Amino acid sequence: MTGVGTAVRIRFRGPVAALSATERLRLIDRVPESDDIVRTTSEAIIDVVRREGDAALVALARDYDKVRLKSLEVPRETWREALQALEPAVRAAMERAAANIRAVHTAMVPQSLETNPEPGVTIGRRPDPLQRVGVYAPGGRAAYPSSVLMGVIPARVAGVGDVIICAPPGANGLPAAVTLAAAELSGADRVFAVGGAGAIAAMAYGTETIPRVDRIVGPGNAYVAQAKLLVASAVAIDAPAGPSELLVIADEDANPTRIAIELLAQAEHDPDAAVVLVAVGETIADRVVAEIERHLPVQARRTIIEQAFADRGAVLTAPTTRDAVIFANEFAPEHLLLATHDADALLADVRSAGTVFVGEASSVVFGDYMTGANHVLPTGGLARSYSGLSTLDFVRWTTYQRIDREAAARLSQDVGVFADAEQLPAHAAAARAWRPSA
**CATH 3.40.50.1980 matches 12-32+242-372:** yes
Pairing of strands 132-136, 395-403: unpaired
What share of the chain in percent tops pLDDT 90?
A: 90
Catalytic residue, candidates 245, 291, 334, 360: 334
pLDDT in tens, 413-430: 999 999 999 999 999 999
Topology agreement, domain 12-32+242-372 and domain 36-237: yes
Pairing of strands 395-403, 121-129: antiparallel
For residue 374, pLDDT beyond 50:
yes
* The pLDDT value given to residue 50: 97
Burial of 37 (0-12, 13-18, 19+ CB in 10 A): exposed
Asked if 334 is an active-site residue, the reply is yes
Are the C-beta atoms of residues 280 and 271 closer than 8 Å to each other? no
* The pLDDT value given to residue 282: 80
Q: For the ranges 133-147, 214-228, 273-287, 392-406, which has the lowest average pLDDT?
A: 133-147
Average pLDDT estimate for 194-202: 97
Cα distances from 348 to residues 274, 323, 342, 358, in angstroms, run 24, 14, 11, 11
Catalytic residue, candidates 262, 335, 360, 375: 335
pLDDT in tens, 94-127: 999 999 999 999 999 999 999 999 999 999 999 9
Residue 218 carries which side chain, given as an amino acid letter? G
Asked if 77 is an active-site residue, the reply is no
Residue of 115 and 143 predicted with greater confidence: 115
* The pLDDT value given to residue 221: 87
The string of DSSP letters for 283-297 reads SHHHHHHHHHHHHGG
* The pLDDT value given to residue 1: 38
State the pLDDT confidence band at 31, using cuts at 50, 70 and 90: confident
State the pLDDT confidence band at 241, using cuts at 50, 70 and 90: confident
Residue of 222 and 81 predicted with greater confidence: 81
**What architecture is domain 36-237?**
3-Layer(aba) Sandwich (3.40)
Cα distances from 188 to residues 89, 101, 150, 218, in angstroms, run 22, 15, 12, 14
Question: 232-269 burial, b if ≥16 CB within 10 A, otherwise e?
Answer: eeebbbbbbbbbbbbbbbbbeebebbbbbbbbbbbbbb
pLDDT in tens, 55-84: 999 999 999 999 999 999 999 999 999 999
Distance CA 334, CA 316 (A): 18
For residue 141, pLDDT beyond 70:
no
Average pLDDT estimate for 226-251: 93
Domain ranges in the chain? 12-32+242-372, 36-237, 404-432
* The pLDDT value given to residue 173: 94
Nearest to 330 by CA among 307, 349, 344: 349
* The pLDDT value given to residue 7: 84
Are the C-beta atoms of residues 157 and 132 closer than 8 Å to each other? no
What share of the chain in percent tops pLDDT 70?
A: 97
